[in-house]
Amino acid sequence: VLEKIYKDKNQFIITGNPIKNKTINLKLENVDKGTYYVIVYNEIGQQIANKTVVHNGGSDLQTINLANAQKGTYQVIIEGNSFKENKTIIVE
């Protein structure tokens, strides 16, 4: 399953959902230069992972480790540079 998050020209793509190896692959395509924050919350609102991405602009691939995640549904918040999106992932 391939999920895309669009806002203006910025594209944040989470690949491999459902997550099977406890690693989120976050592909940035045509994203503006800036600092972005990726925060992962469990079903009861506890933060289980986060990553700060200092991006030079253009495309990139980032990974977020979910080593402490149990099977279930999680919310991924991506924000920065007047951009904010929320996506749901499933960890198997």
pLDDT value of residue 1: 54
- Assess whether pLDDT exceeds 80 at residue 8: no
Kindly report, residue by residue over 79-92, the tens digit of the pLDDT: 998 889 999 999 99
- Amino acid in the structure at residue 48: I
- Amino acid in the structure at residue 78: I
pLDDT averaged over the chain?
90
Q: How confident is the model at residue 7 (pLDDT cuts 50, 70, 90)?
A: very low
Residue 75, SS3 per DSSP: strand
Hunting for tokens 């990726």 — which residue is that? 38
